Amino acid sequence: MLKSEIVRPRLGTGSSRAARSIMALATLLAILAIQTAGAPGALAQAPKYEMGTFYICLLVKSSNFKDGDTTRNKELLQAHLKHVQGLIADGKVFAMGPFLDNNPIVGIGVFNASSPEEARAIEQEDPFVKSGLFTVEVLKWWAAKGIMKPPEQPLKMSTYYFAFLRRGPKWTPEKTAETEKLQADHMANIVAMAGTGKLVIAGPFENAGNDAGVFIFKVGSLDEAKALAEGDPAVKAGRLTVDVHPWMVAKGSLP
């Protein structure tokens, strides 16, 4: 999957080989997006399906955060929900919601912004962030344009599974015959998972350090999502690791 895995050592060098790698990966991810969406003639249509840049904003518990159903937190939650609904109405966020496990990352949003600075500025207006309970982290993300939609109205929530892919203990920046074969197997696995309808979106982060990319699954349980993610050849080889979370988002936002 991961553009960062293929070209990160060359980003910013102006290399034509790097540019070709990016375009080849974009085509593969476009195929993935169209197949997942169930569009007919996916392979023929893939070159017409553009990749776009999005920004994933992570809401992270700060040192000031304390668990507990307090009156203050209830008030902040209502203000937070109003903030999110405003972002949806303005077309600034495509998918946003909480993680349902006990994790330092309490939730994420996929933002339609022109820069990481704009995405951060938008999310810093969130009442939870302004209160000092949450902090914001921003990751630049590539995904297929048009695959995320405005949510259905009235808003109803659905559970997906969001998997972070990160550099594992066997990751190396060098390209070898072994890593090329592993990357090809990794991409083939993505297309196979998409064909089942269980993997609905995959995309790479750009210049995000150890954060390499994302799988988003639509399956019946966390265990099933973990099994799918951990079955990826790059994960099994230790080149990548996975961190999977149940993610609640508005129905209609994702395939």
Residue 141: band (very low, low, confident or very high) from pLDDT cuts 50, 70, 90: very high
Q: What's phi and psi for 167, nearest 5 deg?
A: -60, 130
* Whole-number pLDDT of residue 251: 93
Q: Kindly list the structural domains of the chain, giving each domain's residue range(s) and its CATH number in brackets, ordered by start.
A: 3-49+156-250 (3.30.70.1060), 54-143 (3.30.70.1060)
Can you point out the beta strands (E) in 105-210?
105-111, 134-144, 157-167, 199-204
Quote the mean pLDDT of the chain: 82
Cα angle at 75 between 135 and 127, to 5 degrees? 30
DSSP calls for 9-41: GGTTS--HHHHHHHHHHHHHHHHHHHHHHT-TT
23-78 confidence digits (pLDDT tens): 344 444 444 443 333 333 333 333 344 788 999 999 999 998 877 656 678 889 89
> Strand 211-217's sheet: what is its strand order?
199-204, 211-217, 157-167, 240-250
